[in-house]
Amino acid sequence: MLTQGTHRFGPDDGTLSVRTGRTGAAAKAGHDLLIAVTAWEATLELGMDPDQSSLVLHADAASLRVLEGTGGMQSLGDDDKTSIVKTIDDDVLKGAGIEFRSTDVRIAEDGSTISVQGELTLTGNTRPIAFDLHLGSDGKLGGRAVLKQTDWGIKPYSTLFGALKVADEVAVEVSLDPGPPAAG
């Protein structure tokens, strides 16, 4: 069970990643990607009541790294992965930071789930989003939020004259090892 207090997270005690899919007539040629966010920090404040609880996350959009690409006609090489990251930074996220701020955090009575509502800012556009974090038997928090890129003004990447496109919906996944609350 999570304890009250301030819990801080980053790449040393958690993972933040994005999963993309593909669509279009030439989808078989593309890859479903697993992309790691390598520079990020989050603060989860758990209080006695919901008004004392919050979650804030900041992520560096330039810190994305392609971990794997599944499917496709051929495997992704290191040059392909570097090119994908450059395209995401230059054309999709345009170097803008990523920020999430909760507006409501509710902890289930048994402590197994934290329901979070808040606002996610991507490419300078802020939109509401909600997701749950689940406490696993291993003591780790895990969660997943599916978002549509177009809701944030992002045009999903496409190539081959639109015959191969990144699916509009992407999944953001997090796994956190809360440990004890931070001092102070």
Instruction: For 99-153, write each residue's pLDDT tens digit.
Output: 999 999 998 888 889 999 999 999 899 999 999 999 888 888 999 999 999 999 8
pLDDT at 11: 96
CA distance 35 to 19: 6
Q: Is 52 exposed, middle or buried (0-12, 13-18, 19+ CB in 10 A)?
A: exposed
User: Strands, DSSP E only, in the chain?
Assistant: 5-9, 14-20, 22-23, 32-37, 40-46, 54-59, 64-70, 98-107, 113-122, 125-135, 141-148, 158-159, 164-166, 169-176
Instruction: For 45-85, write each residue's pLDDT tens digit.
Output: 988 777 789 999 999 989 999 999 888 888 888 898 888 88
pLDDT at 10: 95
